[in-house]
Amino acid sequence: MTDSMTQTPLTATGQLGCAEEHPGFSDPLYRRRRDAIVALAVGHAVGAPSPHISYSGAEHATWRSVHSSLTGAWQGRVCRAVEEARGRAPIPDDHVPQHAEVGDRLYELTGFRFTLAGGIVPNERFLGAMAEGYFHAVQYVRHPRLPLYTPEPDVLHDVFGHGTHLADPGFADLYRAVGRAAARVSSPDALDLISRVYWFSLEYGVVRESGVPKACGAALLSSYGELRRFQQADIRPWDISDLVTCPYPVAGYQPVLFSTDSTDHLADALHGFLDDFDEDTRDRLRLPPLAARGFMGRPAD
Closer by beta carbon to Fe ion, 91 or else 218: 218
Name the minimum Å distance from CB 50 to Fe ion. Answer: 17
Catalytic residue chosen out of the listed positions 59, 124, 203, 226: 203
Active site residue 203: yes
Closer by beta carbon to Fe ion, 14 or else 282: 14
Three-state helix/strand/coil letters over the chain: CCCCCCCCCCCCCCCCCCHHHCCCCCCHHHHHHHHHHHHCCCCCCCCCCCCCCCCCHHHHHHHHHHHHHHHHHHCCCECHHHHHHHHHCCCCCCCCCCHHHHHHHHHHHHCCEEEECCCCCCHHHHHHHHHHCEEEECCCCCCCCCCCCCCCCCHHHHHHHHHHHCCCHHHHHHHHHHHHHHHCCCCHHHHHHHHHHHHHHHHCCEEEECCEEEECCHHHHCCHHHHHHHHHCEEEECCHHHHHCCCEEEECECCEEEEECCHHHHHHHHHHHHCCCCCCHHHHCCCCCCCCEEEECECCC
Closer by beta carbon to Fe ion, 66 or else 218: 218
Name the minimum Å distance from CB 147 to Fe ion. Answer: 17
Q: Among residue numbers 30 through 89, which ones bind Fe ion (CB under 5 A)?
A: none
- State yes or no: residue 3 binds Fe ion (CB under 5 A): yes
Active site residue 222: yes
Catalytic residue chosen out of the listed positions 67, 99, 136, 162: 162
CA distance linking residue 34 with residue 38, whole number of Å: 6
Nearest CA to 147 among 63, 219, 85? 63
Closer by beta carbon to Fe ion, 70 or else 218: 218
Name the minimum Å distance from CB 152 to Fe ion. Answer: 10
Name the minimum Å distance from CB 187 to Fe ion. Answer: 23
CA distance linking residue 97 with residue 179, whole number of Å: 25
Closer by beta carbon to Fe ion, 143 or else 165: 165
Stretch of residues binding Fe ion (CB under 5 A), selected from 1-9, 163-171, 258-266, 289-297 = 1-9
Name the minimum Å distance from CB 289 to Fe ion. Answer: 25
Closer by beta carbon to Fe ion, 120 or else 281: 120
Catalytic residue chosen out of the listed positions 4, 195, 222, 259: 222
Active site residue 157: yes
Active site residue 84: no
Q: Among residue numbers 205 through 224, which ones bind Fe ion (CB under 5 A)?
A: 218
- State yes or no: residue 154 binds Fe ion (CB under 5 A): no
- State yes or no: residue 124 binds Fe ion (CB under 5 A): no
Name the minimum Å distance from CB 219 to Fe ion. Answer: 6
Catalytic residue IDs: 157, 162, 203, 222
Contact positions vs Fe ion (CB under 5 A) = 3, 218
